[in-house]
Amino acid sequence: MEKLLLLALGGSAGALSRYGLAGLVHKIFGGTFPLGTFVVNMCGCLFFGLVWGFLENRTILGPAARTAVLTGFMGAFTTFSTYIFESSSLLRDGQWWSAIANIAGQTVLGLVLLTAGLFLARLIP
């Protein structure tokens, strides 16, 4: 029961964080390119890498708390299905270059940031 409660709390926090950050980015930059989702996904990749790398060989969080952070918070924060939907909408609307930039940018930069997060986390004793 504790694990489910922590998962729900993590998911709620992740969803609210995603909504807030994506909205803020859209408010600041506007436009038709899905920059809010792009920023959320890139932050999510970096944060996931940091958390994963930091917790890799440490037992500071129990299994329930790890589930709350990695599955609950991160699962609700990162918006991969939204990324796919927005990319297909760009393609449908004939915005091929924006779709390609969105797909390639999030994939390549996401891999780089996840690796950076792991590297940075492993520097912390």
Binding residues for Na(+): 75, 78
Q: In this structure, are residues 57 and 124 in contact, taking their beta carbons and an 8 Å threshold?
A: no
Write out the two tokens for 68. 């709350």
| Number of other CB atoms surrounding residue 71 within 10 Å | 16
Residue numbering of the annotated binding site: 75, 78
User: Which positions ≥6 away from 56 have C-beta within 8 Å?
Assistant: 121, 122
Phi-psi region of 75 (alpha: psi -120 to 50; beta: other; left: phi over 0): alpha
Determine which helix (DSSP H) or strand (DSSP E) holds 20, and give its type and residue range: helix 2-29
